[in-house]
Structures are given as C-alpha cells and as structure tokens.
Amino acid sequence: MIKIEKTSEVFAGIHKPIISKSLFDKVHDVFNGKNIKKQNRHFFVFRRLIRCQSCGNLLIPERQKGLIYYRCHTRNCQRSTLKEETIDKELLQNFKKLQLTDEEYLFLRQESVKENNNQLSEMETARKGFLLQQDHIKDRLSKLADAYVDGVFDKETYLEKKNALIFEEQAIKERFANFNSNNQEVLKRFDAFLELVNSVYLCYEQAKPEDRRHLVKTVTSNFTAEGKTVLVKLETPFEMVVERQSFTSGSPYREATRTLASLFKKLFIYFKNLDTSKSSDEFINYVTSKTEKKSINNFLKSNH
C-alpha cells in the first residue's frame, strides 16, 4: 500500500506521465501479483557456481565500486578472489574454441543427416520385422480359434492362450515404438547441441545476465578458483568439441574429416547413452530460442 502512495506522489500535480509506459506496466504487474523478472541490480551471474580450490566453499559475490567480485569468506583460507571480468574472459576463451568453422559445421551436419538416413533404413527393417511378427501372431490367433471351435481346448485354456498372444503382440508394439522414439531423440539432441556449440561464444557476449547464467550452467560442469585465477571445466560433449581443435587446425583435409567423423561418432554415442526417457525438449527449446537458425539450405546453395 505504501508503494501505491509513492506512485501516486509521482503523478501528483503532473499532467504528463513522467514514468514510461513499460515502467507503468511493470508496476501494474507487481500490484496484480504477477511474477515479473527481477531487475539486474543484484543479479550475480556466477552466484553459487564457483568453489574455492583450497577450502571447497562457494565464493560469495559482492559489488564494489561498480565491479563485481567473488570471494572466499572462509577463515584461515588463502581467500580466493575473482573479478567477474576475469571469469568472463576465461569463459570466452573456452567458448571461442567451441566455434566451428563453416566447413566443420557443414561436415557435422552432413554426418547427422547420414546417420538419420541410416536410422530411417534401420527403422524400416525394424518395421518389416514388426509386421512379420504381427502377422505370425494373427496367424496363431486364428489357428487357436479354429482349435477351440474344433473342441481341442476348453474355453478357459483357449482364453489363457489367447491372452498370452495378445500380451506378446503388445510387447512387440511397445519395443518397436521405443526403438523409433529413442533414435529420433538422439539426433534431435545432437542437432540442438550443434546449434548451441556454434553460437555459444556470440550468445554469451550478447546475452543478458540471466541468460548468461543459464548458458554457463548448460555448458560448464565445474568452476573453481585458485587465488586470482579461475579454472573452468566444460560439460563432456563440449569438452569433446574443444579437443578437436588441436587435430583439425592446419591438418590436411582428409585427416581433418577423419577427426570430425570420429568426433561425430563420440558425440553420437554420448547422446545415445544419455537417459532418453527424459525429454530434452527443454534443452532444445532453450537452444533454439537462443540461436538464430542457420539456413542450411542457403548455406549449401552458396557453397555449390
């Protein structure tokens, strides 16, 4: 209520509104109990993300003369202190290594398309097998019905055998459906990952603090501070991409493509072994909302 008095003060005796429409709307939302985004004044990108190497405690952020510092507050510790700038610099150096050249991006895309085609033909084979098994069960069901009509079994035995076959059919159906959705999920993850890898550097530079935090949490697995330096570890698949660098830069074309092909295989296995029962939609939505979709078709056209 006090807030309302404050705002009405602002308007008192003034004919033109002195607060902007957007600020007015935000205030309005607050009064209506709508959850609006916090302002960035006290938002710390790396809050609760960085541990002190010597004592293992989390560094605590603070603002000092317009700069943000993360400090270890443990007594008798060497008290690591990091400037936010230092962390950003280190991160950007890491993210830079993730950026793919056009050739690399295109090559990995093509590997993904190839793999997709492989999977489509595998799925086709699986579908044929499934139909055969289904026919076989139908056949057995009708033979079973004939035998029942001919008085080979009593009703109870007939129903028991019939149910067993129906359960079997159901199990085959489920196996087939899972097989398909898992394969699709793996490639969906890979494609989203590729988009993220390729844009994380630019995204990080341009993102708002909230988005930067989200990006950091997605891409990094471990942050530690040692004195005034920061050690960053990336999540496994990103680490794999960083490792390619030493092989591909300046290598002859065949060697480079061999390295990339094996990178694709490693990544593919990684995504295949992830728990695909959990949907990665959130991750994919996040990635696609943060990255400008490269038009692959245009890219292909311009390269021919």
Instruction: Tell me which residues touch Zn ion (CB under 5 A).
Output: 52, 54-55, 72, 74, 77
Of the pair 82, 234, the CB lying nearest Zn ion is at: 82
Q: Is 28 left (phi over 0), alpha (psi -120 to 50) or beta?
A: alpha
| Minimum separation from the CB atom of position 77 to Zn ion (A) | 3
H or E element in which residue 195 lies: helix 155-206
Report the residue number whose CB is nearest to Zn ion. Answer: 52
Beta bridge partners of 70: 61, 82
Of the pair 74, 257, the CB lying nearest Zn ion is at: 74
Name every residue whose Cβ is closer than 8 Å to that of residue 100 and which is 6 or more positions away in sequence: 108, 194, 197, 198, 241
Of the pair 72, 192, the CB lying nearest Zn ion is at: 72
| Minimum separation from the CB atom of position 226 to Zn ion (A) | 10
Of the pair 74, 218, the CB lying nearest Zn ion is at: 74
**Which tokens is 206 given?**
């341009």
**224, 167, 198, 239: which is closest to 46 by C-alpha?**
224
Beta bridge partners of 223: 232
Q: Could you tell me what percentage of the chain is helix, strand and coil, using 3-state DSSP and rounding each to the nearest 5?
A: 65, 10, 25
| Minimum separation from the CB atom of position 94 to Zn ion (A) | 23
| Minimum separation from the CB atom of position 81 to Zn ion (A) | 10
Amino acid found at 85? E
| Minimum separation from the CB atom of position 60 to Zn ion (A) | 10
H or E element in which residue 127 lies: helix 102-149
Of the pair 54, 133, the CB lying nearest Zn ion is at: 54
